[in-house]
Structure 1
Amino acid sequence: MSALLPTYQRHNIELVEGTGSFVKDTQGITYLDFMMGIAVCNTGHRHPYVEQRLKEQLGQLWHTSNLFESSKQERVATLLTENSHLSHAFFCNSGTEANEGAFKLIRKWTQKTEILSFSQSFHGRTFAMMGATGQEKVKEGFGEMVADFKHLVFNDLSSLDAITEKTGAVWLEIIQGEGGVIVADDAWLEALMKRTKAYGVKIVVDEVQTGIGRTGSRFAFEQTPLKPDIITVAKGLGSGFPVGAIITTAEAATIFTPGTHGSTFGGNPLAMTAAEATLDLLLTDELLHEVQEKGNYLMRRLAAELPETSLHSVRGRGLMIGIEFERPVAGIVQALQQVGMLVVSAGPHVVRLLPSLFVTREELDLALEKIKQVCQQEVMV
């Protein structure tokens, strides 16, 4: 009997070794990993540059406190802000923590309690972020949610009429990852930007899954008309090490002052070393262009070669790809494991592909063949 609380529906696989796009389990079985810890290992498993930088830091210092200066935090904050239109960063340990911090910042900044989020969104599992999330399954059994959040229909123009002078912020994902890899429409985002500007409403973009190169740009919002006041990042920022960040404007620095927010482990030397090395690798025009090209190549081939009888659509940006099927995909996920490939679902009908951003063309072709093989076996249940 396990001593762990049963909060996860685990696969009967224990992974013990990984390099690049491949992992190995305790039975010695090798898998092509198109899950990457759910968009965490954007540099792949154990990238040599990140690994070497971490080894060096392990021999120096592991933890101090945020009561002391940190040149490592300064360097990572500079990399994040110089690669966006924003100017200040705060470091924490996860995407949920980044979103919680953003929630506090919005409340103090705007002095308003109404925040508009969207159906099928996902922003985390702390109590406030359950309230922000537009999926009832996350909230079941926990009683009344934090009352600040109202949920609008994603990609629906008429929903934007709810944005008024009473609204503190609009909170959204550019691509709803957990909600089914749903891409925000540019015309809708343009209307959202116009309406928020008219009423002086802040925009918070949750880039926890889409950020740090995943969609073929540094942040997904760069491919849209939006200019957010706050972005939150985590997952891909640390190549597997726990790290999250709030990135925001100079005005916010007059709101989040000493004593208003904090984190014991946030921005520790190991996390900052991993983040700096990760950003060195991923925030280059060459790499981002390759991510776009690889994503377009894979989506084009998936749409053309998967059986029309079972396929509903292929969508996404960069290397964040959703394959929607006519039937539930639980069987596909299991069958792909049987042929040596790891993927994750995004709702009942969508298989999500989240490979390393350094994935090769050969590995993309191998993934395509495995997906075709499973689809042809008609194992969907």
Structure 2
Amino acid sequence: MYVTPPLPPLKRVPPGVWTVLAWWAGLVFTFLVRIRLPGESGPAKLPGSLIYQWDGLTFLAVATALVHVAGGLLRRRPLLALGLLFAAAVLACVPLGVVEIPLAQYLAVDVALYFLAAECVRRTGIIALLGALALLAGYLTTRLLFGWPIGASAELSVAMMAVIAWLVGHSVRQARDHAETLVTTATAQAVADERLRISRELHDTVAHSISVIALQAGAARRVIDTQPRRAGEALGEIETVGRETLSGLRRMLGALRHGEQSRSLDPAPGLTDLDKLVAATTDAGVHVEVRWLGERRPLPPEIDTSAYRVIQEAITNVVRHAGTSRCRVSVEYQDDELTIEVLDGGHGPRRTAEGGYGLVGMRERVSMLQGSFCAEPRPEGGFRVEARLPLMTGVQ
């Protein structure tokens, strides 16, 4: 069971709260620059005539109230909340006696623009940015129409900060969308890889089992009249192989149906199971000689399973296509690679088959492990399959 980790503390703060905090930060800054701070000969800006009077403080109080209402509406009604922030920025300018909307009074708008661009649909974010720029232009135009002075240069810096806030929010949104796309793609790829793995297991298991069953059935049919006991043994072997294959199919199909992880399946076979494979094939009428070369040692799981599956598929092809009663399997352990060779002297195809999934599946298995694969007719007759699987040093 996967537990979603809690959000970082700052992420838990709603956007409306950040907007209100930005307004109060701008309001505090507005008063600080209008008083003489320690070490200064005078305030950075002269206070307006109404700022410390009741009517001026009323304007600021109303603007602050509008900001608080906007903070509560920012998620549910983003454009309405932004409109209230616009009104608060304009009302706050009245007692300040300024010729433009100052950056401090537009800081809450900038924070809201960031969140709208980051969290709302793209259309809402664009409308919000255009509205913010239109308000700044409208404020200056109104003052010009009344013949009042304006601060065009300062207002350009405020407009630039609004655009930057929107761009940052838009970038965050794009990064989040991209991350979600990557997660979705990775999840789909993982599911596809798992289904492909199970389909390969199905092919390897069923192809070999059906080949053994076919051989045993043919042997039983030929001797059922003359050697009933031998025919009974062949039928018993058919029953055993059939039950084992059916059980494996049910487990694999159940995993696909219920979306279980690969660990719910039986452990993947490896070279330690080769004796059982050889015994079943020999019972079916094809004698398999196994030669172990080099010092046998534990292999990485993916190498071990792939080696077994390559041998299994090669033996299956011998049973189905070679028309011979013997084949030889060589497994050579070297320092840096594992070499597998399956030889038969039958009368199989004189050229490599391009159709079907047996050789293609073996080639894919080996390629995924950065190995080399060769399947070709032998000059003296028969067929040869060779796979070289690199061994990673340090893997036990």
Q: TM-score, normalised by structure 1?
A: 0.22
Structure having the larger proportion of residues in helix:
2
Structure having the larger proportion of residues in strand:
1
Ranked by relative contact order (alpha carbons within 8 Å, sequence separation 6 or more), the top structure is: 1
